[in-house]
Amino acid sequence: MSDVVEKTLTALPALFDSQTGAAKITNRLRQLIKSITELTSKHEEENLIKQELSAMKEQVSSPNTTMKQMREIMVRAMYCEMLGYDASFTYIHAIKLAQQGGVLEKRVGYLAVSLFLNEGHELLLLLVNTVLKDLQSTNLIEACMALTVVAQVFPKDMIPAVLPLVEDKLSHPKEIIRRKAVLALYKFYLIAPNQVQHIHAKFRKALCDKDPGVMTSSLHIYLQLIRVNSYKDLTGSFVTILKQVVGGKLPLDFNYHSVPAPWLQIQLLRILSLLGKEDQSTSELMYEVLDESLRRAEMNHNITYAILYECVKAVYTIHPKAELLEKAARCIGNFVLSPKINLKYLGLKALTYVVQHDAKLALQHQMTIIECLDHSDFTIKRETLELLFRITNAQNVTVIIEKMLDFLCYVPIKTLTFAPDNSWFIQTMNDVFSIGGDLLQQDVPNNFLRLLAEGKPEEDDQLRLYAVDSYLTVLKGHTSHLPQCFLQVMSWVLGEYAHLQESVDQREVIQFLTQLLDQRSVSSETRVWILSALTKISEGQTDLILDLAESLSSSQDTVLRQQAQELRHLSQDSQLHEWALPRGAPWDSIEVAGLIVFPYYDKLFLLKLHYVTFGTSVKTFNLAEPKITFSRYSNFFRCTCICLYINFVYHFSSSTLILEGVKRVWGKDGYLPQKEATAPLVDEPSAAVQPPGQHEAAERIESRPEPSTQNQDKQQLASSLFVGLGVGSSMSLVRKLYYDGFTVSLRGNVVDCLEARSTSVCHYALLMDDPHTNVSFTGTVSYQTQPGHTNTLPFSGTLSTADFIRPLVVTTEEYGKLWLSLSHDVKQNLKLLTDAGDPLRTTLNALKDALQLHVVDIIGSEGIVACRLLSGAPCLLHCRVNGTALAMWLRSPHPALPDCILYHCQRALTHH
Amino acid sequence: MQFMLLFSRQGKLRLQKWYVPLSDSQKKKISREVIQMVLARKPKMCSFLEWRDQKIVYKRYASLYFCCAVEDQENELITLEIIHRYVELLDKYFGSVCELDIIFNFEKAYYILDEFILGGEAQETSKKIVLKAIEQADMLQEVRNTHIACLFVLVYEVTIGSFPSC
């Protein structure tokens, strides 16, 4: 230090002259900071800084400005830049300051340069000569500053110019210079590795430096070098250094919370793990020191855990040694079970790393992992999923993917709470939709729309407006590549909120949407959304809409034809439009999608507007008087509506189908008072109707006008009609559920009065004609406790195909004949239960127990099984043992039945 | 390390150091984003955040957040200790440091940081050696300041607590 003092003392007299200047220096900055803290608005701050900057600009260009003043200006410029204002006019002066100033000015100049300019900045070229000069300076501080700036920002092309000087510094007597030189070379290595190839020998010298700081710095380089070349011969040295460090041989200065040189330890552990990777003989050299490190790091402080974590990683990276692995695994336990959340996180991270080598380790921490999966901290959750991802196998893949999808749904909504502004949020969601596209779970667009819809008009109009603007921009570009779900979201938003944007002509919006309709890549389902949007904004644009309706009325697609019809009627009757689709109407809680259903009953018409909610209930509005008359369309028309409707419900309820009966207010003889129960899932007349006199269940159920045979015809018609209809996959599902007919079955249960405390049992048979894995049904019971006052009790339940399967008892010969006559088949490998002597029999029995199947015969490694759906359709299963799997071949006259049964078989075997 | 940010509870940037070349607009965007994210965290949550393909490691000392972005592979705990060591250095240098010290002497805070971390890597982890280097460079200023004997007493309504003793 003495030589520094000497140097600085000689510089002192010059400094004393500027006393008053220095006072001013600090003053100005302090004043600036002080006045900024006193300001109340961003706007005031902007003005103040603007003034400050222009004053500074004037000052820097004035020839009278001294270096000291310049130094002061530079500090203020740094401050302004930190606040986010542009002070680029000072950059060149920062370089000048470093070039021409005394040591004090240089220090500020270099700091400003390293803050203002980055590696690619052209002004840096002007700095090269200054750096060269300072590197050669005998003043220690100047040399230090030059090296510091070189290690932070230096143009790649100029490296050769300073390289020899920096290299020389490696043998400088002062350790601080050597250390900085090593780090500068490390930086050079990172940006231009081939430039420093020739000095590898000097790095070795740095590694053996007597100063621990220089040695530590050289490890940064080695960590990089080892990734490319092998430095196996150095293993011994690294091990020795680590041993010394762990053994506490370093000066106490290097202790951090009584742990000797933790940074050095970690660096060495990283190097060792790279060296020992897939190399047994090298690994053997380090077992002892790793063991020692694991043992020593026992103090309960973050820093020891940091070392332990690195140790564990090293143990699992190098050639394995059982004893060490065991110790490391115990260490992970300490992390994972720690109540400190940071340690838990690191434990999960370590587990993620080690399960790649030994998946069983995750088993010990199952419960913690499950807890972490639902942790309120996003980071923990995310890391847990990462861990799960690593242990995914054939058995758990479905569950894990489900969890990950949950997470994916969670993300966009979660982002909103952090969203800095509307534009960011909408833009992010645009990205999510266009990239994730149709792979996204339906919840993502639903939740997004819900967020838009739920907001209060005043508060969230801004967000909605932004969405409208953003979507109009998207629609102006190429739209053919956009995922369907994004198009649907855009259609919905434009339909609901396009009117908010007054500067945009509604006709333009209609044109955009009409163009989308014409696109071949747009699916029928999306078309439905687009048309719904068009219906909403059609008001007052009769000419455009009539053209559109005209062109669509000849469409092949029944749904479109129907919607076009609705569109035409609504656009011609503004009063009706206003009523049916009120603009800006408040949303009751979470109701969103609007769909108009026009059921057709003989000559009477009913307009129903359903606000379909996201999952639970349906609201029905009735129009008291029929205003629209259709020419008699066709019988399936009504089915179309219902299917469409169900389709909607399905979409908004993500996974289970919620089916609610459309209330009928119109009967054969006109308007019916509200007295019907709605229930779902179809069926034929109940066999279990009890004599009305015996029980008093007050189910008030109205009769259906059409005889059930007619319904059956309709259903068949509907089924056949919708086969070719491409309204997405959900359409085929809709086809499988009948709505009609159930009211017939309930007719016998109308009971007049109810005695107190009596119960009544009503049986209804439900048949599933077409299977689906799960269906939900809802219904209501209406009763009167006093005349004129009707109470309603809703009920609901979920049924799966499994509930409708019965054994089909056939002989082997009959089975053979039936097998050949069946057309739809599905093949799949299932899990074989191997925990018993006869795996095939065990598996089939398990299936039989779970699903009411009939095991027809078992011959050697093959088994045949038969079942039928309650309504009649048989399904035959042919099972064969194939190694450790069960090859299953299912056949049925019904196209969807094999899939459903397969699903339930899979479930049954997984849960076994 | 990719960058280090110091910011107040109100989201005001107090110090920024970038170890990767980025344009000004990128820097602004990133710091805005990171500050938002960190301020939204609840007190009991862990000090790490996934951000792009990197990790944000942050810790709050009194009214000031210290926040580093590191590579995904990096050991988060040691980064946390780097932050802590930097706070210790500041504390030792300013003598029971508080946010105001850093606001008014931000260039000093930069000098200390540059002596501690160089080019994104820990340069010198010994507290004594880092401070010695700073003191040596400060020597000129120190001498001058004592001659000037100009003291500033700052009384602000903003009460900002000093960091817990390190």
CA angle A231, A233, A234 (to 5 degrees): 70
- The architecture (CATH level 2) of B3-124 comes to 2-Layer Sandwich (3.30)
Mean pLDDT taken over chain A: 71
Q: Which among B33, B45, B104 is the nearest to A30, CB-wise?
A: B104
Q: Do A111 and B110 touch (CB under 8 A)?
A: yes
Beta strands in A751-894 (DSSP E): 774-786, 789-800, 805-807, 824-831, 854-859, 862-869, 874-882, 885-892
Provide DSSP, A132-185: HHHHH-S-HHHHHHHHHHHHHS--GGGHHHHHHHHHHHTT-SSHHHHHHHHHHH
| A589 within domain boundaries | no
- The answer to whether B43 contacts chain A (CB < 8 Å) is no
Maximum average pLDDT range among A193-197, A314-318, A562-566? A314-318
Tokens of A53: 């900057």
| A815 within domain boundaries | yes
Q: Which of A580, A608, A639 is the last residue of a domain?
A: A580
Please state, as a whole number, how many other Cβ atoms lie within 10 Å of the Cβ of residue A786: 7
- Chain A, window 106-125: residues with a beta carbon less than 8 angstroms from a chain B beta carbon: 107-108, 111, 114-115, 118-120
Dist CA A889 CA A882 (whole Å): 12
Residue-level pLDDT at A152:
87
| A680 within domain boundaries | no
Query: In the predicted model, what is the mean pLDDT of residues A664-693?
Result: 34
Whether the Cβ atoms of residue A879 and residue A864 lie closer than 8 Å to each other: yes
3-state secondary structure at position A257: coil
Chain B closest-CA separation from residue A217 CA (Å): 6
Dist CA A649 CA A617 (whole Å): 9
Tokens of B96: 């029971």
Residue A285 has pLDDT above 60, yes or no: yes
Tokens of A491: 């259609």
| A424 within domain boundaries | yes
| pLDDT tens per residue across span B80-91 | 999 999 999 999
A450-459, A670-679, A727-736: the lowest-pLDDT one: A727-736
Please indicate whether residue A89 or residue A787 has the higher confidence score (pLDDT). Answer: A89
Residue-level pLDDT at B66:
95
- Chain A, window 125-154: residues with a beta carbon less than 8 angstroms from a chain B beta carbon: 140-141, 144-145, 148, 151-153
| A341 within domain boundaries | no
3-state secondary structure at position A830: strand
Q: Where are chain B's structural domains?
A: 3-124, 126-166
| pLDDT tens per residue across span A347-357 | 888 888 888 77
ipTM of this complex: 0.86
- Mutation target among A29, A68, A81, A82 for the B interface, most CBs of B within 10 A: A82
- Chain A, window 353-412: residues with a beta carbon less than 8 angstroms from a chain B beta carbon: 376-377, 379-380, 382
Please indicate whether residue A838 or residue A601 has the higher confidence score (pLDDT). Answer: A838
- Going by C-beta distance under 8 Å and a sequence separation of 6 or more, which residues neighbour residue A588? A611, A619
Chain A closest-CA separation from residue B134 CA (Å): 10
| A545 within domain boundaries | yes
Residue-level pLDDT at A578:
66
Angstrom distances, CA of residue A744 to CA of A409, A547, A738, A765: 42, 43, 13, 12
Query: In the predicted model, what is the mean pLDDT of residues A199-223?
Result: 88
- Which of chain A's residues have a Cβ under 8 Å away from the Cβ of B3? none
Residue A414 has pLDDT above 90, yes or no: no
Domain that holds residue A821: 804-911
Angstrom distances, CA of residue B49 to CA of A303, A317, B67, B77: 19, 25, 10, 13
Please indicate whether residue A386 or residue A878 has the higher confidence score (pLDDT). Answer: A878
Residue-level pLDDT at B150:
33
Whether the Cβ atoms of residue B115 and residue A141 lie closer than 8 Å to each other: no
Question: Contacts for A37-44 with beta carbons within 8 Å, 24 or more apart?
Answer: A37/B156, A37/B158
Maximum average pLDDT range among A696-710, A847-861, B146-160? A847-861
- The answer to whether A264 contacts chain B (CB < 8 Å) is yes
Q: Which among B36, B123, B145 is the nearest to A420, CB-wise?
A: B36
Q: Do B125 and A302 touch (CB under 8 A)?
A: no
Q: What is the DSSP letter of A704?
A: P
Q: Single out the residue of A796, A635, A624 nearest to residue A710, CA to CA.
A: A635
Domain count within chain A: 2
- Mutation target among B76, B78, B115 for the A interface, most CBs of A within 10 A: B78
Q: Do A141 and B137 touch (CB under 8 A)?
A: yes
Angstrom distances, CA of residue A299 to CA of A308, A454, A617, A746, A799: 11, 53, 59, 75, 57
pLDDT confidence band for A35 (50 / 70 / 90): confident
Residue B9 has pLDDT above 80, yes or no: yes
Q: Which among A11, A120, A254 is the nearest to B21, CB-wise?
A: A120
Residue-level pLDDT at A410:
54
| A372 within domain boundaries | no
Q: Single out the residue of A721, A722, A741, A736 nearest to residue A775, CA to CA.
A: A736
3-state secondary structure at position A896: coil
- Chain A, window 171-230: residues with a beta carbon less than 8 angstroms from a chain B beta carbon: 176, 179-180, 183-184, 186-187, 190, 212-213, 216-217, 220
- Which of chain B's residues have a Cβ under 8 Å away from the Cβ of A15? 140, 143-144
3-state secondary structure at position A581: coil
Dist CA B130 CA B135 (whole Å): 9
Q: Single out the residue of A93, A103, A100 nearest to residue A70, CA to CA.
A: A93
**Residue of chain B with shortest Cα separation from A83:** B13
Tokens of A500: 């908010």
- The answer to whether B72 contacts chain A (CB < 8 Å) is no
Query: In the predicted model, what is the mean pLDDT of residues A814-835?
Result: 82
Q: Which of A549, A565, A580 is the last residue of a domain?
A: A580
- The answer to whether B96 contacts chain A (CB < 8 Å) is no
Q: Single out the residue of A165, A94, A96 nearest to residue A132, CA to CA.
A: A165
Phi first, then psi, for residue A596 (nearest 5°) are -100, 130
Dist CA A639 CA A409 (whole Å): 33
Tokens of A697: 């269940």
A25-29, A308-312, B39-43: the lowest-pLDDT one: A25-29
Please indicate whether residue A31 or residue A766 has the higher confidence score (pLDDT). Answer: A31
Give me the CATH number covering residue A827: 3.30.310.10
Residue A900 has pLDDT above 90, yes or no: no
pLDDT confidence band for A659 (50 / 70 / 90): very low
pLDDT confidence band for A796 (50 / 70 / 90): low
Query: In the predicted model, what is the mean pLDDT of residues A62-75?
Result: 87
Chain A closest-CA separation from residue B69 CA (Å): 15
Query: In the predicted model, what is the mean pLDDT of residues A753-768?
Result: 56
Strand partners, A858: A863
| A505 within domain boundaries | yes
Whether the Cβ atoms of residue A530 and residue A517 lie closer than 8 Å to each other: yes
Provide DSSP, A209-258: -SSHHHHHHHHHHHHHHHHHS--GGGHHHHHHHHHHHHTT-S-GGGEETT
Q: Which of A580, A602, A620 is the last residue of a domain?
A: A580
